Copies of this chain bind each other. A is one copy, B any other.
Amino acid sequence: MTSRDYYADSYAHFGIHEEMLKDSVRTGSYRAAIVNNGHLFKGRTVLDVGCGTGILSMFAAKAGASHVVGIDMSNIIDQAQKIIEANGFKDTITLVKGKLEESQLPIQQFDIIISEWMGYFLLYESMLDTVLLARDKFLKPGGLIFPDNATLYMAAIEDQDYKEEKINFWDNVYGFDYSCIKDIALREPLVDTVELKSVVTDPCSIKHINLLTAKKEDLTFTAPFSLTATRNDYIHAFLAWFDISFDCTHKKIQFSTGPHAQYTHWKQTVFYTPSTLTVSEGQKITGQLTCSPNVKNNRDLDIIISYAAEGDETSAANVEYKMY
């Protein structure tokens, strides 16, 4: 068995940018927020944190920014330089290769920060801490951040068939017992699309982040939740997604990565429960979700979900998940 995972990794040289650019909810929302708000960008200085291929920097230049600085530590910035030159933005956009923490920027104070920093489950592998650092170091008082608000949601879902395929599969692999891998599989949240009809509870907001005021410490948090079943059904997993908004725009631009919304490359995040919960319409599932960067590797996320169905003590559980 060869390690084909290497392929996905290195294809990402440009493949991941292809996926992000083709995510029209993502890129279209940023375009609307920036290009349709020339009154905010005209004559202003803009910092693009994690600029990638430079698409947001070019939107800002097109919206009338006096100067845009894009920074990225990935080699993709070499292509970004060719792209901004090919599109006539050589004088308006300056690209810097490196980590924000260690780089000298040609401008010290910016009117606006733009960034697409969101990861799976909003915070996995996200650049939010770098955006907050950029804000504290480089944003003028009263400056704007695009986007300026993010909210994480959760709900519970019926997912018998797919849980069978992804988790219970390991009970019997060509007649062999692979259950040691089942335990690992269960604890790794699954990034995938979920149909709205699978959702069996109301959604619950568990974390709001205002980019203008959030602190790095806010990214480690414990949030209570209470989900109310909307029908008699079974629960096989919790589901999480996030919404993003650009509240500072003329006509508020927002998008959701939830199961009710159009597909995005962030999909949703599924946390399978060890046991199935049986719930009745109106019954509450209450608990709390704790999220923190892993102590050994702060790019990994430790997520603990404690929960119980109201009136059913046997349903109580405390499950430790790890996104890595």
Contact = CB atoms under 8 A, between A and B. Distances in A.
Interface in A184-223: 184-185, 188, 191
Nearest to A182: B14
A241 to B, nearest CB: 16
A9 B9 contact: yes
Q: Which of A21, A87, A188 has the most CB of B within 10 A?
A: A21
A81 B59 CA distance: 54
A9 B14 contact: no
A51 interface: yes
A2 B86 contact: no
Contact of A12 (B3, B15, B50): B3
Nearest to A1: B52
Contacts of A86: 177-180
B173 A7 contact: no
Given A79-B184, A83-B178, A178-B53, A116 B1 contact: yes
Interface of A: 1-22, 27, 31, 50-53, 55, 58-59, 72, 74, 79, 82-83, 86-87, 116-120, 124-127, 166, 169, 173-174, 176-181, 184-185, 188, 191, 265, 299, 323-324
Contacts of A51: 1
A129 to B, nearest CB: 11
Contacts of A126: 2
A118 B72 CA distance: 36
A16 B7 CA distance: 11
Please list the 5 inter-chain residue pairs (A to B) with the smallest Cβ-Cβ separation, ordered nearest first: A5-B12, A1-B52, A8-B8, A82-B180, A9-B9
A20 B181 CA distance: 14
Nearest to A191: B7
Contact of A120 (B4, B13, B55, B74): B4
Given A9-B5, A86-B179, A191-B7, A14 B185 contact: yes
Contacts of A18: 166, 169, 185
Contacts of A185: 14, 18
Contact of A176 (B5, B7, B87, B191): B87
A181 B79 contact: yes
Contacts of A119: 2, 4
Contacts of A5: 8-9, 11-12, 15-16
A181 B6 contact: no
24 contacts: A1-B16, A1-B50, A1-B52, A4-B19, A4-B125, A5-B9, A5-B16, A6-B9, A6-B125, A6-B299, A8-B9, A13-B184, A13-B324, A14-B188, A17-B181, A21-B174, A53-B181, A55-B176, A58-B176, A79-B181, A83-B180, A86-B178, A86-B180, A87-B177
Contact of A1 (B17, B169, B323): B17
